[in-house]
Amino acid sequence: MEDREIKSIIEAGLFAAGDPVSLKDLCSVLDMDQKDVLPLLKEMKDWYNYERRGIQLIEAEGHYQFSTRPEYYEYIQKLHTPQRRQGLSQAALETLAIIAYKQPITRAEVEAIRGVQSDTAISTLIEKRLIQEVDRLDTVGRPILYGTTIDFLKYFGLSSVKELPDILEKQISYLDENTR
């Protein structure tokens, strides 16, 4: 198969999926190795950016998706009134920041850092698909470990949690140290 056809298949698959698609799934569908698919994805991403197309190919932790370019937001808004997203409360934002920087982390650890219960905030973040259960701690009671999701990365325009600013991490570490 020619590169052009492979790129068309990737494009059609990502468009149809709507949600992020893992590199592993793309390779499986194409029956190709990652080392052969990654350069094609990079070429596609570069082409969409170079041509300043209305859409862009974004990558977040090995998952790929098409997205509209942010600079066309006002025009898209005129065509389509998006559902209003309910903003996050201060408690949910604090909880999300702690989970983002300390993941994987238990609810009890989040509460120790914040100094208050976080059940409602954690439920809200799960409902909004910004965090998820990633594992269970191998201790008494097997508490749930939480981490961020691909939706979290998309929402904040990140490719990886490694792109989070250092300043918040230092503030959270300070809070963590002073609550023990």
User: Do residues 168 and 158 lie in contact, with contact meaning Cβ atoms separated by under 8 Å?
Assistant: no
pLDDT digits (tens, 9 = 90+) for 123-173: 999 999 999 999 999 888 899 999 999 999 988 888 888 888 876 556 656
Whether 38 and 130 have beta carbons less than 8 Å apart is answered as no
CATH 1.10.10.10 range(s) for the chain read 3-79, 90-178
Architecture, CATH, for domain 90-178: Orthogonal Bundle (1.10)
Residue 140: CB atoms within 10 Å: 6
Say yes or no: domain 3-79 is CATH 1.10.10.10: yes
Position 10 pLDDT exceeds 60: yes
**Size of the chain in residues:** 180
The token pair at 47 is 């082409």
Predicted pLDDT of residue 170: 60
* pLDDT band, very low/low/confident/very high, at 47 (cuts 50, 70, 90): very high
Q: At what angle do helices 119-127 and 90-102 cross, to 10 degrees?
A: 80
Is residue 174's pLDDT more than 90?
A: no
Q: Is the pLDDT of residue 120 over 80?
A: yes
